[in-house]
């Protein structure tokens, strides 16, 4: 789901986006998977359903920040077409999610119900249950193709946004979110490297590996080592920003 909401949005939208004007894109995995990831990281007890819900949308905000970087460097009509197609498909998949488990908004539930009711009137469908099956199947394919279009769109803009030419500011936000999770759960956000195997280690690294799964495939670190380097660079930039403006921490 990709949209911008202002302070006049309805209450259900405000619950999703506590900060007015935020831009989000629905994470790759759902909230149930996010809860499972937190449990695997040993911090599940620190997050109730509401906190998981807010975290899921915070990841969506970071996804939206990445998309903004992509838009800033947009290079062709093909990129625009892919971005538009991705947004439309992901929006459709999000709106028609009223049959899914987990927290759902009134809009999602009612939009899905009305769509299924009308679809059931089609003689080739024939029943409400069959209509629901078709909607679920459509959602899965729309989400899959939508994310694929997003990857293709980002690929066209890669040269303008590679790490060698510009810092990955959205990854700084992602790292800051991981540090916030560690603080909330009371765990040490360690980040290191095994002296013998040279493999990346530490809770912060494990958390990044787990939660990158909720980002678009194109956003994820291409390797464990790349993930460790991203975290190190982001931590340095965050520390520098904090030294320059301590009141922001």
The single-letter DSSP state of residue 192 is: E
Confidence of residue 12 (pLDDT cuts 50, 70, 90): very low
Is 124 within a domain? yes
Average pLDDT on 6-24 reads 38
Average pLDDT on 160-185 reads 80
Strand partners, 23: 4
What whole-number distance in Å separates Cα of residue 204 and Cα of residue 85? 35
Q: Given this model, what pLDDT does residue 141 score?
A: 94
Q: Given this model, what pLDDT does residue 157 score?
A: 65
Q: Given this model, what pLDDT does residue 72 score?
A: 66
Confidence of residue 234 (pLDDT cuts 50, 70, 90): very high
**Candidate from 69-73, 175-179, 196-200 with smallest mean pLDDT:** 69-73
Is 34 within a domain? no
What whole-number distance in Å separates Cα of residue 72 and Cα of residue 55? 26
pLDDT at residue 161 tops 60: no
CA pseudo-torsion sign 137, 139, 142, 148: negative
Give the chain's mean pLDDT.
82
Q: Given this model, what pLDDT does residue 203 score?
A: 97
Q: Given this model, what pLDDT does residue 47 score?
A: 95
Counted domains in the chain: 1
Q: What percent of the chain has pLDDT over 70?
A: 83
Residue pLDDT, tens place only, 83-104: 889 889 988 988 888 887 777 7
Strand partners, 24: 3
Average pLDDT on 170-190 reads 95
What whole-number distance in Å separates Cα of residue 238 and Cα of residue 9? 32
Is 173 within a domain? no
Confidence of residue 65 (pLDDT cuts 50, 70, 90): confident
Is 223 within a domain? no
- Residue 198 φ/ψ region, left for φ over 0, alpha for ψ in the -120 to 50 degree band, beta for the rest: left
pLDDT at residue 82 tops 60: yes
Is 55 within a domain? no
Average pLDDT on 201-215 reads 96
* Backbone φ, ψ for residue 192 (5° rounding): -150, -165
Confidence of residue 9 (pLDDT cuts 50, 70, 90): very low
Is 123 within a domain? yes
Decide which of 48 and 164 is more confident.
48
The answer to whether residues 137 and 66 touch, using CB atoms and an 8 Å cutoff, is no
Residue pLDDT, tens place only, 173-182: 999 999 999 9
pLDDT at residue 166 tops 70: no
Q: Which residue has the tokens 């193709």?
A: 145
Average pLDDT on 173-193 reads 96
Is 129 within a domain? yes
Average pLDDT on 108-122 reads 92
Q: Which residue range forms the structural domain that includes residue 108?
A: 76-156
Is 121 within a domain? yes
């Amino acid at each position: 789901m990709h949209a911008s909401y202002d302070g006049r949005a309805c209450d259900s939208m405000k619950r999703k986006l506590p900060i007015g004007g935020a831009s989000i894109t629905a994470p790759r995995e759902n909230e149930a998977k996010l809860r499972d990831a937190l449990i695997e990281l040993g911090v599940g007890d620190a997050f109730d359903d509401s906190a998981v819900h807010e975290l899921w949308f915070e990841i969506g905000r970071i996804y939206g920040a990445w998309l903004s970087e992509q838009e800033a460097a947009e290079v062709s009509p093909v990129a625009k077409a892919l971005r538009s197609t991705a947004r439309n498909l992901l929006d459709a998949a999000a709106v028609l999610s009223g049959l899914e488990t987990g927290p759902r908004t009134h809009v999602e539930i009612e939009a899905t119900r009305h769509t299924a009711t009308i679809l059931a009137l089609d003689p080739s469908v024939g029943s409400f249950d069959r209509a629901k099956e078709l909607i679920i199947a459509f959602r899965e394919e729309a989400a899959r193709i939508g994310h694929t279009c997003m990857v293709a769109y980002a690929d066209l803009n890669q040269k303008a946004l590679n790490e060698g030419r510009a810092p990955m500011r959205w990854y700084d936000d992602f790292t800051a979110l991981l540090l916030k999770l560690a603080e909330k759960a009371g765990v040490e956000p360690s980040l290191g490297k095994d002296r013998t195997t040279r493999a990346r280690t530490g809770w912060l690294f494990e958390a990044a590996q787990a939660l990158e799964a909720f980002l678009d495939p194109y956003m994820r670190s291409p390797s464990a080592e790349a993930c460790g380097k991203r975290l190190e660079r982001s931590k340095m930039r965050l520390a520098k920003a904090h030294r320059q403006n301590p009141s922001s921490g």
